Amino acid sequence: MSVKLICIDESHLQETEVLMDSRPIILGHRGMGIGDGENSLLSLIKAVQIGADGVELDVQITSDGVLVVNHDPDLKRTFGADVVVGETTFKNLKKMNLVNPEGLTTLEEVYLELPETAYINVEIKDPRAADVVVPLVKSFNAMDRTLFSSFHHDCMRRVKECDIQANIGLLIGEEARGKNPAKYFEELMEYKPFSFNLPVQLFDEIGFELGVSLIDFVRSRGIKVALWTLNDPGLLMKIKGEADIIITDNLQGIMAALGGKSERR
Q: Which of 12, 71, 152, 153 is catalytic?
A: 71
Q: Is 71 a catalytic site residue?
A: yes
- For residue 265, the tally of other CB atoms under 10 A from its CB is 14
β-pairing, 67-69 with 54-61? antiparallel
d(CA 131, CA 5): 30
- Tell me if 120 sits within 8 A of 53, measured CB to CB: no
d(CA 233, CA 241): 14
Among 205, 199, 251, 183, CA closest to 44: 251
Q: Which residues pair with 123 in a beta bridge?
A: 58, 149
- Tell me if 40 sits within 8 A of 92, measured CB to CB: no
d(CA 31, CA 24): 17
| Type of residue numbered 93 | L
| Type of residue numbered 47 | A
Q: Which of 12, 29, 152, 153 is catalytic?
A: 29
> Which residues are tagged catalytic?
29, 71
